[in-house]
């Protein structure tokens, strides 16, 4: 089996929001417009941990929800699963994801659909995962995505993983959690609703899953060291150079980083692995 301990390759998917004003566009789109390709809150550390924890192998049928720029898809395909299906709402992303190839006989396809209603068959997948999508959804939408993942998974062999932002620690004062959430919304210009590790586990449990493992990492998406670790030195310098030539983008990035740093004690990233909870006869 190929190792996942490698630089995530570049891709040719056009970043979302390319023509929007940097001061108003959703914050998670701005780094992508500047050339950042790893947009996950825990960086490559958690993205690499996830397929390892899932144990993806040549017998697996994998579905990735909101596959986006395709960085994690490439890691998954190095493991040569029997089948890989990318799901995304963006037509350009689906077109680029459809062109992905695997080093083995993997059947690769991409479908344009919402993560809450993929249209894929019941119980046909052995692995389903999604990253950096549930955090931005209100609770009812979070539940619909997790419910759809449960529907897609084989009862006996299914595994599910998520990679999201989290609030720390468990039992965080609700007023402080609300203040952090409000600051994130103001900086990112998008509804951002991270949960504590316990609350993420409770969400999965309430929709038919049992969490078997989890791992956390700092929320350091815009820190220089994380940028280099995620992207590589030369691409990171390119991203920094493009930001310096775009004052509006630079101001926005620095504001986002200030918010992340202000709440660094209580803001992190988490990946959870879960399996379908057995149902009683």
Domain assignment present for residue 8? The answer is no
Distances (CA, A) of 27 to 30, 163, 204, 238: 5, 18, 27, 19
Radius of gyration of the chain (CA): 18
Give the pLDDT confidence score for residue 245 in this predicted structure. Answer: 93
6 located within any domain: no
Q: What is the span of the domain harbouring residue 175?
A: 30-275
> What pLDDT is recorded for position 10?
44
Residue 15 has a pLDDT of 55
Does residue 14 sit within a domain? no
For residue 5, being part of any structural domain is answered with no
At 18 the pLDDT is 57
CATH (domain of 107): 3.40.50.150
- Residue 30: per-residue pLDDT: 85
Please measure the distance between the N-terminal and C-terminal CA atoms of the chain and give it in whole angstroms: 38
- Indicate whether 184 belongs to any domain: yes
In whole angstroms, what is the distance from residue 59 CA to residue 84 CA? 11
- The answer to whether position 24 is within a domain reads no
Give the span between the Cα atoms of 132 and 130, in whole angstroms: 7
Q: What is the mean pLDDT, run by run of 10 residues, along the chain of 281 residues?
A: 35 54 73 84 92 95 93 93 95 89 89 96 97 94 98 96 97 96 91 94 97 95 91 93 92 93 96 91 49
For the whole prediction, is pTM greater than 0.75?
Answer: yes
Within a domain: residue 92?
yes
User: Distance (Å, rounded) from C-alpha 268 to C-alpha 165?
Assistant: 6
Residue 50 covered by a domain: yes
pLDDT of residue 20: 64
Burial zone of 271 (CB within 10 Å; 0-12 exposed, 13-18 middle, 19+ buried): buried
Q: How many domains does the chain have?
A: 1
């Amino acid at each position: 089996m190929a190792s996942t301990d490698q630089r995530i390759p570049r891709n040719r998917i056009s970043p979302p929001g390319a023509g929007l004003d940097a001061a108003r566009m959703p914050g998670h789109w701005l780094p992508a417009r500047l050339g950042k390709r790893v947009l996950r809150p825990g960086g490559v550390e958690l993205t690499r941990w996830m397929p390892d924890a899932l144990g993806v192998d040549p017998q697996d049928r994998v579905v990735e929800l909101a596959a986006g720029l395709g960085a994690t898809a490439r890691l998954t395909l190095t493991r040569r699963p029997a089948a890989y299906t990318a799901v995304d709402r963006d037509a350009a992303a689906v077109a680029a994801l459809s062109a992905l190839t695997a080093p083995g006989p993997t059947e690769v396809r991409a479908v344009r659909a919402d993560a809450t209603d993929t249209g894929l068959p019941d119980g046909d997948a052995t692995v389903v995962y999604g990253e950096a999508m549930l955090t931005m959804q209100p609770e009812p939408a979070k539940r619909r995505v997790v419910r759809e993942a449960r529907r897609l998974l084989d009862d006996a062999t299914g595994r599910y993983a998520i990679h999201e932002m989290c609030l720390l620690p468990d039992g965080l004062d609700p007023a402080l959690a609300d203040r952090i959430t409000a600051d994130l919304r103001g900086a990112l210009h998008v509804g951002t609703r991270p949960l504590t590790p316990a609350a993420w586990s409770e969400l999965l449990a309430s929709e038919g899953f049992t969490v078997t493992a989890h791992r956390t990492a700092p929320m350091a998406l815009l820190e220089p060291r994380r940028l280099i670790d995620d992207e590589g030195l030369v691409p990171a310098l390119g991203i920094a150079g493009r930001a310096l030539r775009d004052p509006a983008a630079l101001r926005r990035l620095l504001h986002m980083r200030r918010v992340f740093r202000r709440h660094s004690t209580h803001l992190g990233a988490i990946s959870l692995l879960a399996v379908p909870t057995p149902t009683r006869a």
